[in-house]
Amino acid sequence: MVARFTDNDNKGEDFTILLDDLPSSNGHRVKNIAFGPDGKLYISVGDAFQESNVQNIDRFHGKMLPMNRDGSIPADNPIGDSYVWALGLRNSFGIAFRENGDLIANENGPISEMSSM
């Protein structure tokens, strides 16, 4: 879940859920959130070990999701009326932005016999 509070004299008030139904597991879950230079909030969501959902635009598994500060879907998202900005991720974490505003997020793959050599 992504939620916000309104600051009222250093007290959080007006709890508002902006985005719900994000997948969770013991790993490969929401790893990072960051505001970009465009003012949008970017949320990296892992696959929650459900690889079959990472290409499904109707599920949040394995996606990068930007949203406006009010929780609405940005008008310039590539898939109309969807938070999905990038899909097919496994376990994305670590969001950063270049000086020109480009988003950089790292992605890690599975441990295999080859990677341990």
List the chain pLDDT tens, one digit each, 117 residues. 889 999 999 999 999 999 888 877 776 666 688 999 999 999 988 887 778 888 999 988 888 999 999 999 999 999 989 999 999 888 877 889 999 999 988 887 666 655 555
Q: How far apart are CA 35 and CA 101, in angstroms?
A: 11
DSSP label of 52? G
At residue 36, the pLDDT reads: 96
Q: How far apart are CA 18 and CA 62, in angstroms?
A: 19
- pTM of the entire structure? 0.83
Give the residue carrying structure tokens 């988003």.
Answer: 103
Catalytic, out of 2, 6, 8, 28: 28
Beta bridge partners of residue 96, listed in sequence order: 104
At residue 90, the pLDDT reads: 82
The verdict on whether 28 is a catalytic residue reads yes
End-to-end CA distance of the chain: 39
At residue 98, the pLDDT reads: 95
